[in-house]
Amino acid sequence: MEQFRLPKIPMPKLELPQAIQEVIREAEEKLAHRPKLLQLFKNCFPNTLETTTKLMEDGTTFVITGDIPASWLRDSVEQVIHYVPFAKEDKDLQRIISGLIKRHVNYVLIDPYANAFNESANDWHWNTTDVTDMSPWVWERKFEIDSLCFVVRLAYQYWKETELTDIFDANFKKAIRTIVDLFKTEQHHFEKSPYRFTRNNGILTDSLRNNGLGMPVNYTGMIWSGFRSSDDACDFHYNVPGNMFAVVALRQMQEFAEWVFRDMDLLAELKELEIEVNHGIQLYGIYRHPEFGPIYAYETDGFGNYCLMDDAGTPGLMSIPYLGYTTADDPIYQNTRRFALSKENPFYYEGKVAKGIGSPHTPEDYIWHMALSMQGITAQTAEEKLEMIAMLEATDADTGFMHEGFHADDPTIFTRKWFAWSNSLFSQLVYKAMKDGLL
């Protein structure tokens, strides 16, 4: 069926906030001995603000993903998350980030099952014939558990960094209520969920089987998800890293309930739900691998079937410590990491110029820059961090930016030359290494 013809949205170039200009000046001093890396950082660090961000008259902020004129809840958070540490003393950054949080809240209240939204109720859709309950605000309605978790993540980190509470209005609390109710519903997807999604375009990973319900699952306490963070359909609908992210989000929402809203009933409800989901992860989400020992599965159905892989997108198995579920030295995570970076992972590739994790979302032998950045961010040794930075620096195809996937033998063959999330994640890695004195 027909995909929507991508319209062009003019995004006014914002004047960079003072705090961001200062970071760039700092990099010019500390990375002067690495001219190519410096130029990459100067291109990538402000890329979200320069090319994808629009301040709206209602006080919100609209952030497109890059080469697609829609705002993904997940992508837009990760596109700005590297700016949050600089927001405490910068009013312009506070306006941008708090405005995005407010827009996310509006989107969640419009449709908590949707993953991507329009700037206005213009009725633009990625695919014009999706069989689901669409709104004119919704660009795509693939339910991905991580979308809602990212909304919580940005609000939490912004609050912790700035100590500002103006984002916590009645609509924010209503959005929390909406997220909790949806999580509870999707613990019992087949019995209680109104969500259905089919797309008859011939691409199997774009649609849910079983008349839009998805494949059968057993009750585990975990939360059902239709799609992965790559926007591809789950094989088994308990996505383990997504549920880990939900546990983290539930813990963060508990802090909102206790310290912002002073709602002890909501606090108790969130705590109970966190325990249920986490119990499901620990009971059903661990696979005893004959080579690596106990590892976290990527997906399971609760019937004893497992999908053993990792995907470059976040949340994935590599990103577990980044999400805050556990620490990088956790033994099961370490086993899982060794699995993900081996040929036992069907989406791990090694080529002439690079090695790393790709995705079923892109062709075979395509490694994702985001996977290399995440590997560096979660690495425990300086050597591995520097190895990832060198590999990223060498595979930009002299474009000055990060991409989605590139061929392991030839980085000049790549997907998505304008992918702001990838630029932001790379910037996180380089800035952290710079501050740690590794560069």
**What's the per-residue H, E or C state across the chain?**
CCECCCCCCCCCCCCCCHHHHHHHHHHHHHCCCCHHHHHHHHHHCCHHHHHCEEECCCCCEEECCECCCCEEHHHHHHHHHHHHHHCCCCHHHHHHHHHHHHHHHHHHHHCCCCCEECCCCCCCCCECCCECCCCCCEEECCCCHHHHHHHHHHHHHHHHHHCCCCCCCHHHHHHHHHHHHHHHHHCCHHHHCCCCCECCCCCHHHCCCCCCCCCCCCCCCCCCCCECCCCCECCCCEEHHHHHHHHHHHHHHHHHHHHHCCCHHHHHHHHHHHHHHHHHHHHHCEEEECCCEEEECCEECCCCCEECCCCCCCCCCCCHHHHCCCCCCCHHHHHHHHHHCCCCCCCEEECCCCEEECCCCCCCCEEEHHHHHHHHHHCCCHHHHHHHHHHHHHCCCCCCCCCCEEECCEEEEECCCCEHHHHHHHHHHHHHHHHCCCC
Average pLDDT, the chain: 96
Least trusted range by pLDDT, from 4-8, 70-74, 131-135, 429-433 = 4-8
**What pLDDT, on the 0 to 100 scale, is given for residue 129?**
87
Q: Which two tokens stand for residue 89?
A: 């003393």
**What pLDDT, on the 0 to 100 scale, is given for residue 8?**
60
pLDDT level of residue 6 (50, 70, 90 thresholds): low
**What pLDDT, on the 0 to 100 scale, is given for residue 28?**
98
**What pLDDT, on the 0 to 100 scale, is given for residue 67?**
84
Residues 178-206, mean pLDDT to the nearest whole number: 95
Name the nearest CA neighbour of 307 among 216, 238, 395, 217. 238
Tens digits of residue pLDDT in 209-238: 999 999 999 999 999 999 999 999 999 999
Proportion of the chain above pLDDT 70, given as a percent:
97
Q: Which two tokens stand for residue 175?
A: 């959005």
Please report the domains of the chain, with CATH numbers, ordered by start residue.
18-342 (1.50.10.10)
Name the nearest CA neighbour of 116 among 81, 146, 156. 146
Taking the CB of residue 282, how many other CB atoms lie within 10 A of it? 12
**What pLDDT, on the 0 to 100 scale, is given for residue 2?**
37
**What pLDDT, on the 0 to 100 scale, is given for residue 202?**
84
Taking the CB of residue 191, how many other CB atoms lie within 10 A of it? 8
Residues 6+ apart with CB under 8 A from 174: 109
pLDDT level of residue 375 (50, 70, 90 thresholds): very high
Taking the CB of residue 54, how many other CB atoms lie within 10 A of it? 18
| Residue keyed to tokens 């950082």 | 41
Tens digits of residue pLDDT in 20-59: 999 999 999 999 999 999 999 999 999 999 999 999 999 9
**What pLDDT, on the 0 to 100 scale, is given for residue 4?**
45
Residues 308-333, mean pLDDT to the nearest whole number: 97
Q: How far is Cα 23 from Cα 73, in angstroms, rounded to an integer?
A: 26
What is the SS3 assignment for 21-73? Answer: HHHHHHHHHHCCCCHHHHHHHHHHCCHHHHHCEEECCCCCEEECCECCCCEEH
**What pLDDT, on the 0 to 100 scale, is given for residue 1?**
28
Q: Is the pLDDT of residue 15 over 80?
A: yes
pTM of the predicted structure, to 2 decimals: 0.96
179 close to 262: Cβ distance less than 8 angstroms: no
**What pLDDT, on the 0 to 100 scale, is given for residue 3?**
42
Tens digits of residue pLDDT in 337-370: 999 999 999 999 999 999 999 999 999 999 999 9
pLDDT level of residue 10 (50, 70, 90 thresholds): low
